[in-house]
Amino acid sequence: MGLRALPDDGRETGRHDLPGPGAGGRRELGRARRGPRGTVARRWRAVPDRRGRVPAQIARKGGGNVTVEEVSVDGFERVVIDRGPAGEARSIIAVHDTRLGPALGGVRMRPYPNESDAVSECLALARAMTVKAAAAGLDLGGGWSIIPADTAEKTPERLLSHGRAIATFDGRFIPVNDVGTDQADLREIGKVTSPVCAQDDPSPWTALGVAAGIKACAEFSGRADLKGARIGVQGAGHVGSALVRLLIREGADVTVSDVDEDRAVSLAAETGAMAVDPDTLPTSELDVFAPCALGGVVTPDVVPALRCRIIAGGANNVLATPELADELRKRRIIYAPDFCVNSGGVIFLQSQLRGLSEETARDQVQGVGTTISELLAHAETNRVTTSQAANDLAQNRLDAA
């Protein structure tokens, strides 16, 4: 039982076994057709075994075919692009590492200047998720997916198409909501693939972990608590808004920014925070800069202009390049590695998958603070960056798997 490739006219071809895990046994592929840019694309469908059974996820497609272009990327288990009739990339899915368990990863929907940028971000996010899960001590791997389009173009069919592409991973990729998607979108995707994490929004739990990490950084810098701490939160989305509310309760002096000015102003009016220009927030005089929107905001140009003591937020891939961690260390700016400090949402999702209580999940997410404290101490003692300390922790666990 496996998957069989179809030529363009829909006829079955000869088949060959491919190594690798699958939901129902071996994975089979027939003659490939050339896709865009000379890469190989294959059209998959379920192939019954001798008893007429097919992998459950593929069978749920209702007999429809999905075209996925296999992309070879060093260090990744599998990367595919789901292409539309005109060869356009409808979605990109990358699974980086599943040694610890199935890959958990977001479904991000936003426009990109070109396909290459979308693929690059998908790979970076998938790789970061592997490290995040490993560093957090979870039995999950890392993956990610991107629908490179504006949310105004979101339709049920587009989400179902993405779900069918996910289904070809035979359960090795578990999607969750991310920028541009919500629980309703995941439920739509879940009509054609399983499992999906579509129950509760993990964003508040990500924010809870970030708040715990910020407290740990503040304590490491000599503060007893967050009362009066000047904290700038970049992004008033799901995670950013939840974090603002938590920090206000701690007595912090919070400023917030968002590319959607009205959203930032509305959140400020609700919470008592102050809305500011998003272009000026990163270099404002702050105790803590908390990026909670898109990544790459700490760039070589921004670092010399930073006037904060701590960087800790919910965004992924905060540093534009890994080398910037050393620049921050030289400037004595405490950096909580994003893949550790924003792991609360992933910790919560694993607790859901395991059927744990909300109280247990809360205790585990609060443990992000302990992890950050240990990383800061390790980095100081060994005179390495916090990023290096976190990567060492994750790699040791992956190597032991």
Annotated binding-site residues for NAD(+) read 235-240
If we measure between CA atoms, which residue out of 227, 240, 295, 228 comes closest to residue 267?
Answer: 240
Type of residue numbered 334: I
Angle, vertex CA 255, rays to CA 305 and CA 208, nearest 5:
105
Tokens of 215: 């407290």
* Inter-CA distances, 41 with 36, 62, 67, 192, Å: 8, 21, 7, 21
Query: Annotated binding residues, as ranges?
Result: 235-240
